[in-house]
């Protein structure tokens, strides 16, 4: 009953609102149309209205009737009491945060969840029925909310005429979100509409006319679409009246006209794809649109490939999309393949420029959309080939390569030669150093060798001394004996002379003379021995002279034997010289060959003496020196019946310092020196030996 009742009043209030004169509020009978009850200000009744002016009227889903006024007076918000006998008055109370935030009411409305919202010029109020208080949303973007609507989920949306634009409030999460110019709304300051309502179409979209054009917001996608005068929207106005009719149409009225919009039709997109044409190409400041015969054989629009020289590297392309519905809104995106990484951002720009393109192949592609954003993705392509300069062509690279190889090869050769030269120099230096070292070593060796030879000589001299002493002793004995005998003979002779026994004197004189001769003979012999010894100790002067080898052999045989005997009295051996009487004198250095003979004979005596010491029964030590004249040579054999030389030793006996004798007894140089001496005389020194039977050393000298 009441609802119908109020509905009648509602229409009545709107009519009054339109005429902008509201004098009072009353209840009318729906059937008769008569005013049943009026409410007028009454100073004596605190439950009466404070003013006759009522701008905002609302009945909530619980049946409560709410009244408000937009004016800046003390009217505030009223709720009709249940008995319809008066009103409860709500005014802001300073210091009370649960009181309404302002007395200027711009709208009263309920959202889809039956929550009552009161918009004021000083914040947004949510009414709490249980406690009869208000929750105030005080945010700069909600400071002056004047329009309201709900989305499909029943969530509230507010229009503001401050910075917020369109605002959503999530009460549960306490999130306030502004959809303002930064999100695509044409104007933040929303002063349009009627009766505090934002008009919603059948798709749930909000229609928001502004001074800059018409914004349509889809709360589901949270996006705006804009329409302008060019789209058929009426010339811009400050205020509009917008309604949605039950057949789905939207009507927007303003001082410049009326728009009748069928949202379902308006939002259909034009799906015709725009075709694209390149209208002009600029190459290094020269414009081409018609055929020029060189680069363009046909007009630019009909050309899809060109070839350019390396210096034609500054290019720009003018293009257009052929779609004539709001063609100024056609959009373009382009890309120069092989140069641009990405497509350019869609824009209304119809020219693309490139400078300083390196030589290579490029494909310029353009795609375009119509004003509804339907893209011709395939677009068009235009191939540009910028030829390289001659020095960057493949044959130029081949020539560079060949030159490089040649240079590399030359460098390699040069380096190799240099390395070889350096190495050779190094080797030569090394060899020189080595040669010097060798020379030094050789000189030192020579010195050592001559020292060794000298010491070997002194050693053999030592061995000789005993023999020589023995040899000299013999003639000296004769000399002494004969001179003593001569002394006696001369005493006898003196007596016989006094006796004048001349015959006896003559006999005695003869004996003295004979003895004198013997003294002389033995004196000479001693002299010869001393000379020989001196000769032996003297360094060889290297002068060959005809030498009696038999005498030499005889001398050294005896010297050697007596030398050994002088050292070891128990030693006895048979020794003999089997001399070839026809042996001619041979041209040799006597000291050297003498040394060879002495070495061989000493070794032979040593061998037999060692075997003697072994105490073999029936063994008779024997050393024989044999000289023989052959056809062109003479041969001296030194033969002993010692222990012989095993083959393993035989290989080494001519090597310097090889000896089997105990330390101090042998130097190991004798045979090596002998070999060298014989070789120096153009002869041969050989050995023949049988173990247990003896050895035979053979010297062959050219006769
Ligand atoms: P050394 O007599 O100082 O050892 P040699 O060069 O004269 O040096 O002799 C080398 C070695 O040859 C001797 O140590 C010995 O072993 C061997 N040799 C030389 N002559 C004879 C020989 N007549 N009988 C056995 N061995 C010999």
Mean pLDDT, residues 147-152? 90
Is the predicted pLDDT of residue 681 greater than 60, yes or no?
yes
**277 pLDDT tier (thresholds 50, 70, 90):** very high
Backbone angles phi, psi at 642, to 5 degrees: -75, -150
Tell me which of 671, 675, 689 to substitute to probe ligand 1's pocket, judged by most ligand atoms within 8 Å of the beta carbon: 671
Answer whether 651's CB lies under 8 Å from 662's CB.
no
Fold agreement between 275-388 and 540-703: no
Q: Quote the tokens at residue 635.
A: 């041969």
Answer whether 358's CB lies under 8 Å from 313's CB.
yes
pLDDT score, position 194: 54
Cβ of residue 654 lying under 6 Å from some atom of ligand 1: no
Answer whether 128's CB lies under 8 Å from 120's CB.
no
Euclidean distance between CA atoms 144 and 105, whole angstroms: 10
Residues of the chain with pLDDT > 90: what percent? 52
pLDDT score, position 13: 39
539 compared with 575, residue with greater pLDDT = 575
**Least confident segment among 73-77, 241-245, 433-437:** 73-77
> Ligand 1, atom 21: nearest CA belongs to which residue?
603
Mean pLDDT, residues 84-113? 90
Q: How many Å separate Cα 251 from the centre of its chain?
A: 75
Output the CA–CA distances (angstroms, integers) from residue 128 to 116, 125, 132, 233, 258, in the order listed: 8, 10, 5, 42, 41
Beta strand 574-578 with 622-629 is parallel
Q: Which atom of ligand 1 is nearest to the CA of 672?
A: 6
Tell me which of 462, 624, 653 to substitute to probe ligand 1's pocket, judged by most ligand atoms within 8 Å of the beta carbon: 653
**How far is the centre of ligand 1, averaged over its atoms, from the C-alpha of 464 (Å)?**
18
Q: Is 587 helix (H, G, I), strand (E, B) or coil?
A: strand
Q: How many Å separate Cα 640 from the centre of its chain?
A: 84
66 compared with 33, residue with greater pLDDT = 66
pLDDT digits (tens, 9 = 90+) for 324-376: 877 888 999 999 999 999 999 999 999 999 999 999 999 999 999 998 889 99
**How far is the centre of ligand 1, averaged over its atoms, from the C-alpha of 659 (Å)?**
6
> Ligand 1, atom 19: nearest CA belongs to which residue?
603
> Ligand 1, atom 26: nearest CA belongs to which residue?
645
> Ligand 1, atom 7: nearest CA belongs to which residue?
670
Cβ of residue 670 lying under 6 Å from some atom of ligand 1: yes
**How far is the centre of ligand 1, averaged over its atoms, from the C-alpha of 653 (Å)?**
7
Q: Which atom of ligand 1 is nearest to the CA of 661?
A: 14
Mean pLDDT, residues 545-552? 92
Q: Is 253 helix (H, G, I), strand (E, B) or coil?
A: strand
pLDDT score, position 325: 77
Tell me which of 452, 453, 603 to substitute to probe ligand 1's pocket, judged by most ligand atoms within 8 Å of the beta carbon: 603
Whole-number mean pLDDT of the chain?
A: 87
Q: Which atom of ligand 1 is nearest to the CA of 669?
A: 6
Backbone angles phi, psi at 326, to 5 degrees: 45, 55
| Secondary structure letter of residue 263 according to DSSP | H
Cβ of residue 668 lying under 6 Å from some atom of ligand 1: yes
**How far is the centre of ligand 1, averaged over its atoms, from the C-alpha of 655 (Å)?**
11
Across the chain, how many H-helices and E-strands are there?
A: 8, 36
> Ligand 1, atom 18: nearest CA belongs to which residue?
603
**How far is the centre of ligand 1, averaged over its atoms, from the C-alpha of 623 (Å)?**
15
- Residue of 340, 287, 282 lying closest to 316 (CA atoms): 282
> Ligand 1, atom 13: nearest CA belongs to which residue?
659
Cβ of residue 361 lying under 6 Å from some atom of ligand 1: no
Domain ranges of the chain: 275-388, 394-443, 444-539, 540-703
- Residue of 14, 12, 134 lying closest to 76 (CA atoms): 134
Residue with tokens 């409030």: 169
531 compared with 589, residue with greater pLDDT = 589
pLDDT score, position 22: 40
Mean pLDDT, residues 530-538? 62
pLDDT score, position 535: 59
Q: Which atom of ligand 1 is nearest to the CA of 671?
A: 6
Answer whether 685's CB lies under 8 Å from 697's CB.
yes
pLDDT score, position 460: 63
**How far is the centre of ligand 1, averaged over its atoms, from the C-alpha of 645 (Å)?**
9
Cβ of residue 274 lying under 6 Å from some atom of ligand 1: no
Cβ of residue 102 lying under 6 Å from some atom of ligand 1: no
**543 pLDDT tier (thresholds 50, 70, 90):** confident
Cβ of residue 667 lying under 6 Å from some atom of ligand 1: yes
| Burial class (CB within 10 angstroms; exposed 0-12, middle 13-18, buried 19+) of 190 | buried
Answer whether 667's CB lies under 8 Å from 608's CB.
no
Backbone angles phi, psi at 462, to 5 degrees: -60, -45
Is the predicted pLDDT of residue 17 greater than 50, yes or no?
no
- The CATH class of the 275-388 domain is mainly beta
Helices (H), 104-259: none
Answer whether 62's CB lies under 8 Å from 129's CB.
yes
> Ligand 1, atom 23: nearest CA belongs to which residue?
604
Mean pLDDT, residues 107-121? 92
Euclidean distance between CA atoms 466 and 154, whole angstroms: 150
**How far is the centre of ligand 1, averaged over its atoms, from the C-alpha of 699 (Å)?**
16
Instruction: Answer yes or no: pTM beyond 0.85.
Output: no
- Residue of 168, 167, 174, 224 lying closest to 190 (CA atoms): 167
> Ligand 1, atom 3: nearest CA belongs to which residue?
666
> Ligand 1, atom 8: nearest CA belongs to which residue?
668
**How far is the centre of ligand 1, averaged over its atoms, from the C-alpha of 568 (Å)?**
19
The CATH fold assigned to 540-703 is: Heat Shock Protein 90 (3.30.565)
Q: Which atom of ligand 1 is nearest to the CA of 607?
A: 24
pLDDT score, position 542: 78
> Ligand 1, atom 16: nearest CA belongs to which residue?
660
pLDDT score, position 417: 96
Tell me which of 639, 659, 698 to substitute to probe ligand 1's pocket, judged by most ligand atoms within 8 Å of the beta carbon: 659
Cβ of residue 162 lying under 6 Å from some atom of ligand 1: no
pLDDT digits (tens, 9 = 90+) for 56-71: 888 899 989 998 888 7
Cβ neighbors of 356 (< 8 A, separation 6 or more) are: 313, 314
Answer whether 182's CB lies under 8 Å from 225's CB.
no
**How far is the centre of ligand 1, averaged over its atoms, from the C-alpha of 556 (Å)?**
17
């Amino acid at each position: 009953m009441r609802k119908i009742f109020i509905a009648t009043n509602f229409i009545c209030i709107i009519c009054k609102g339109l005429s902008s004169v509201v004098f009072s509020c009353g209840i009318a009978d729906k059937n008769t149309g008569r005013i049943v009850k009026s409410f007028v200000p009454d100073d004596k009744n605190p439950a009466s209205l404070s003013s006759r002016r009522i701008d905002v009227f609302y009945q909530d889903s619980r049946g409560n009737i709410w009244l408000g006024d937009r004016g800046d007076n003390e009217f505030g918000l009223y709720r009709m009491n249940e008995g319809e006998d008066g009103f409860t008055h709500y005014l802001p109370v300073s210091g009370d945060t649960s009181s309404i935030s302002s007395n200027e009411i711009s709208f009263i409305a309920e959202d889809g969840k039956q929550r009552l919202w009161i918009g004021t010029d000083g914040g947004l109020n949510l009414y709490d029925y249980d406690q009869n208080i208000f929750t105030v949303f005080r945010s700069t973007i909600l400071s002056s909310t004047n329009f309201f609507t709900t989305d499909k989920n029943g969530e509230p949306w507010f229009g503001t005429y401050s910075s917020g634009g369109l605002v959503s409030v999530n009460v549960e999460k306490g999130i306030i979100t502004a959809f303002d110019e930064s999100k695509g709304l044409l104007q933040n300051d929303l002063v349009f509409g009627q009766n505090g309502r934002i008009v919603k179409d059948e798709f749930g979209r909000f229609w928001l006319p502004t001074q800059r054009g018409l914004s349509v917001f889809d709360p589901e996608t949270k996006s705006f679409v804009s329409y302008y005068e060019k789209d058929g929207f009426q010339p811009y106005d400050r205020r509009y009246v917008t309604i949605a009719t039950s057949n789905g149409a939207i009507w927007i009225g303003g001082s410049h006209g009326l728009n009748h919009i069928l949202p379902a039709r308006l939002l259909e997109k034009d799906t015709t794809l725009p075709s694209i044409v390149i209208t002009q190409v600029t190459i290094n400041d020269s414009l081409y649109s018609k055929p020029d015969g060189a680069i363009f054989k046909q007009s630019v629009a009909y050309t899809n490939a060109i070839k350019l020289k390396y210096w034609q590297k500054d290019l720009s392309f003018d293009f257009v999309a052929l779609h004539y519905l709001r063609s100024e809104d056609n959009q373009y995106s382009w890309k120069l393949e092989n140069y641009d990484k990405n497509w350019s951002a869609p824009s209304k720009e119809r020219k693309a420029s490139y400078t300083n393109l390196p030589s290579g192949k490029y494909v310029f592609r353009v795609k375009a959309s119509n004003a509804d954003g339907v893209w011709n993705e395939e677009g068009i392509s235009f191939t540009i080939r910028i030829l390289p300069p001659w020095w960057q062509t493949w044959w130029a690279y081949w020539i560079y390569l060949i030159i490089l190889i040649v240079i590399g090869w030359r460098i390699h050769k040069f380096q190799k030669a240099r390395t070889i030269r350096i190495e050779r120099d190094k080797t030569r230096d090394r060899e020189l150093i080595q040669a010097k070292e060798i020379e030094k070593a050789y000189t030192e060796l020579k010195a050592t060798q001559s020292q060794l030879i000298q010491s070997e000589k002194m050693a053999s001299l030592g061995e000789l001394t005993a023999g020589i002493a023995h040899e000299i002793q013999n003639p000296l004995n004769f000399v002494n004996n004969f001179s003593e005998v001569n002394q006696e003979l001369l005493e006898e002779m003196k007596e016989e002379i006094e006796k004048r026994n001349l015959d006896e004197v003559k006999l005695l004189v003869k004996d003295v003379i004979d003895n004198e001769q013997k003294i002389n003979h033995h004196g000479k012999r001693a002299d010869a021995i001393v000379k020989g010894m001196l000769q032996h100790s003297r360094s060889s002067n290297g002068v060959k002279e005809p030498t009696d080898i038999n005498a030499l052999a005889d001398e050294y045989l005896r010297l050697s034997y007596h030398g050994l005997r002088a050292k070891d009295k128990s030693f006895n051996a048979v020794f003999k010289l089997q001399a070839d009487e026809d042996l001619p004198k041979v041209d040799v250095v006597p000291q050297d060959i003498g040394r060879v003979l002495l070495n061989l004979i000493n070794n032979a005596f040593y061998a037999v003496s060692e075997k003697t010491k072994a105490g073999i029964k029936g063994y008779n030590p024997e050393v024989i020196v044999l000289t023989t004249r052959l056809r062109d040579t003479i041969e001296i054999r030194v033969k002993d019946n010692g222990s012989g030389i095993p083959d393993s030793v035989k290989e080494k006996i001519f090597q310097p310092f090889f000896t089997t004798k105990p330390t101090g007894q042998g130097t190991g140089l004798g045979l090596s020196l002998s070999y060298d001496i014989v070789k120096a005389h153009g002869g041969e020194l050989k050995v023949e030996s049988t173990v247990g039977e003896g050895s035979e050393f053979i010297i062959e000298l050219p006769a």
